[in-house]
A and B are shown apart, each in its own frame.
Chain A
Amino acid sequence: MANQIETVQQLNKGAPKARPYFQNISWSWVGVVPFFLFALLFIFIPTTALFVGSFQDIEGNFTLRNIQMLFTEDYIINSFMLTIKVSLVTAIGGAVFGFFLAYAVTIGGLPRWVRSFLSSFSGVASNFAGVPLAFAFIATLGRVGLFTVFLKKLGLDLYGTNSFSLYSFWGLSLTYMYFQFPLMVLTIIPGLDGLKREWREACENLGANKFQYWWKIALPILMPSLLATTILLFGNAFGAYATAYALTGGTLNLVPIIIGAQIRGDVLNDPNLGYALALGMVIVMALALAIYYMLQKRASRWLR
């Protein structure tokens, strides 16, 4: 077998020499043309079109007014703030809760089956997409949701005296958390496994207590991957449209919701402003992803 492959390699090495020179020019790039053509048509051209559109007025003349409006129009600033707020709250909340869950099943001394159960469940829940998730929360915490009714029987009226609403900021955040923290669980379990026992033992030998070990050793090691995942969660919530649309029907002024409304009818009275909104989203996402990659590089140093 090995001999055969060697022979083939020799044959291949020998073959080009016999051919005329012009065939030596590499034509192998031709093989990737279809893919790059596709990427050009359906990723680069549309993105460029938005980019160009955000610097044009309705007649197609160059203007910076749309970009300026991104930073001056209250309605737009508020929608960006709200989207960022939802993303931050669910990213940080998801990260903290996910971390504790992962901690509980790895180092927390729980039986092995809890861990494997949680991992498979997280794999499923983090893949849980928009509309059905919204329905599940409506059935649970909506106005006539099962849990709402249950609490009402206990004398706790969520929608009355406590002015909770599933269709508001906190309701949306609670729903987003469902796909947020499983992602944290999945990414941080390997990190917690990677904490070597020697490190802990060395710490104890030097007289450190548990708190000192976590504060000075374990957390700094885990920090890059913790932060990286938090950013991933941020991006996850920032671009989310389906869940928010299915849950609130477009009443909450998130940037994706406004863009969606703009697509179906000119709600901003200015399509080019819509392009600028979209550009703003891409810039926020690109920044988040850039930071993610930088942190990921640092994290991989420790987690071999």
Chain B
Amino acid sequence: MKKSRFWSWLIVFLGGIYFFLPLYATLRFSLMMKKDVLSFMAYEQVLHDPKFLAAFTFSAKMAVFTILASLVLIVPTAYWVHLKLPKLRPVMEFITMLPFVIPAIVLVFGLIRSYSKPPILLVSSPVLLVAAYVVLALPYMYRSVDVGLRAIDVRALTEAAQSLGAGWFRILFQVIFPNLRSALLGGTFLTFAIVIGELTVANSLAWKALGPYMTQLAGMKAYEPAALAVMSFILTWASIALLQFLGRGRGGAAPENMAGMH
């Protein structure tokens, strides 16, 4: 028993080094901008760069639009399928899994081919960017909503609301949405995490979003990218930690894994 525990510790130790060394190195690197002393200079430089602020604001805006668009598109549909068209469920599952089969780079290639010439000219419009992000977020958003809907009694809630005289709009926004709160929060966080640093689509559609900004910076500077990386770790990790914390409640969606966004 002693012996087997030694191997267990060893492998966890190796895993720990592999996990933490890059994080430590990035943090350390980001603090070394001033010679011979540790300082937050790289962070100050980044935060004072107007291009950074512009890129960050743009990406954050796109994230908000993506979240709103996905919620409006997916929640009513998923609800309706649960309530009235349960036979469509496998079809919905199939469609929402497609973004796993179609890598982001392929999707954006297809979008550019389809919408860069009349009759539909969308390449230079942020609509196409948001649409692509909604597609990328589809598997996560749909799955969190689906898990949430399974956890509540959709039929009873709907009928109770109807018997009290509520219309469809009211049922959706005052009954279904609040009951899916924690599931929707899960999907929202994941979508935000996907969009905020996204590179593939933003780069291909030539938007000055945060992802392209970061790669550009990497070509010119040494310490600022590390500072940016640390900030984005903290942002993503804080939101995932918050998500895990919130997910402990009832009907919460466990954090999913974002296959295909790397």
* Proximity string of chain B (225-258) to chain A, C-beta cutoff 8 Å, 1 when within and 0 when not: 1101100110011001100100000000001011
Q: Report if A130-B262 is in contact (Cβ < 8 Å); known contacts: A104-B7, A278-B109.
A: yes
CB pair B200–A127 under 8 Å, yes or no, is no
> Which of B44-52, B70-78, B173-181 lies at the interface with chain A?
B70-78
Partner of A5, one of B110, B159, B197: B159
Other A-B contacts than A31-B77, A104-B9, 18 sampled, CB-CB below 8 A, are A5-B159, A38-B131, A128-B262, A132-B228, A134-B218, A139-B226, A147-B25, A176-B262, A178-B22, A179-B262, A232-B259, A235-B100, A240-B262, A263-B105, A264-B203, A278-B109, A282-B101, A289-B97
CB pair A130–B4 under 8 Å, yes or no, is no
User: B28 interface residue, CB < 8 Å from A?
Assistant: yes
Q: Report if A114-B12 is in contact (Cβ < 8 Å); known contacts: A38-B73, A109-B5, A243-B262.
A: yes
Q: Contact size class for B? A: 35 or more
CB pair A97–B15 under 8 Å, yes or no, is yes
CB pair B95–A43 under 8 Å, yes or no, is yes
Measured between alpha carbons, how far is A285 from B103 in the docked complex, in Å? 8
> Which of A69-77, A117-125, A211-219 lies at the interface with chain B?
A117-125
Partner of B4, one of A28, A108, A281: A108
> Which of A44-52, A57-65, A153-161, A197-205 lies at the interface with chain B?
A44-52
Measured between alpha carbons, how far is A246 from B219 in the docked complex, in Å? 9
Q: Report if A246-B218 is in contact (Cβ < 8 Å); known contacts: A28-B84, A32-B77, A126-B257.
A: yes
- Tell me how far the C-beta of B170 lies from the nearest C-beta in chain A, rounded to whole angstroms: 16
Measured between alpha carbons, how far is A238 from B134 in the docked complex, in Å? 21
Partner of B12, one of A32, A105, A240, A243: A105
CB pair B163–A129 under 8 Å, yes or no, is no
Measured between alpha carbons, how far is A49 from B228 in the docked complex, in Å? 37
Measured between alpha carbons, how far is A110 from B233 in the docked complex, in Å? 28
Which B-chain residue is minimally distant from A35 (CB atoms)? B77
CB pair A135–B26 under 8 Å, yes or no, is yes
**Across-interface contacts of A176 in B (CB, < 8 A):** 262
Measured between alpha carbons, how far is A259 from B107 in the docked complex, in Å? 11
**Across-interface contacts of B190 in A (CB, < 8 A):** 127
By secondary structure, the B interface counts as helix
Q: Report if A260-B105 is in contact (Cβ < 8 Å); known contacts: A28-B85, A135-B229.
A: yes
Most chain B CB inside 10 Å of its own CB: which residue of A118, A139, A239, A262: A139
User: B160 interface residue, CB < 8 Å from A?
Assistant: yes
User: B151 interface residue, CB < 8 Å from A?
Assistant: no
- Tell me how far the C-beta of A88 lies from the nearest C-beta in chain B, rounded to whole angstroms: 16
Measured between alpha carbons, how far is A42 from B162 in the docked complex, in Å? 35
Measured between alpha carbons, how far is A126 from B19 in the docked complex, in Å? 11
- Tell me how far the C-beta of A146 lies from the nearest C-beta in chain B, rounded to whole angstroms: 4
User: A256 interface residue, CB < 8 Å from B?
Assistant: yes
Offer 24 A-B interface pairs, CB within 8 angstroms, sorted by A.
A32-B77, A43-B95, A47-B110, A49-B110, A53-B113, A108-B5, A108-B11, A118-B15, A121-B19, A123-B257, A127-B190, A132-B197, A132-B214, A132-B233, A135-B229, A137-B22, A138-B225, A139-B25, A139-B30, A235-B259, A236-B260, A242-B199, A260-B203, A286-B101
CB pair A239–B104 under 8 Å, yes or no, is yes
Number of A-B contacts (CB under 8 A): 277
Q: Report if A50-B240 is in contact (Cβ < 8 Å); known contacts: A8-B162, A131-B214, A235-B100.
A: no
Measured between alpha carbons, how far is A146 from B31 in the docked complex, in Å? 12
CB pair B100–A127 under 8 Å, yes or no, is no
Measured between alpha carbons, how far is A139 from B88 in the docked complex, in Å? 49
* Proximity string of chain B (154-179) to chain A, C-beta cutoff 8 Å, 1 when within and 0 when not: 00100110110000000000000000
CB pair B257–A127 under 8 Å, yes or no, is yes
- Tell me how far the C-beta of B179 lies from the nearest C-beta in chain A, rounded to whole angstroms: 16
CB pair B95–A108 under 8 Å, yes or no, is no
User: A245 interface residue, CB < 8 Å from B?
Assistant: yes
Which chain B residues numbered 101 to 137 have a C-beta less than 8 Å away from chain A? 101-114, 131-132, 134-135
User: B39 interface residue, CB < 8 Å from A?
Assistant: no
Q: Report if A109-B1 is in contact (Cβ < 8 Å); known contacts: A136-B25, A232-B259, A285-B101.
A: yes
Which B-chain residue is minimally distant from A140 (CB atoms)? B25
**Across-interface contacts of B18 in A (CB, < 8 A):** 177-178
User: A29 interface residue, CB < 8 Å from B?
Assistant: yes
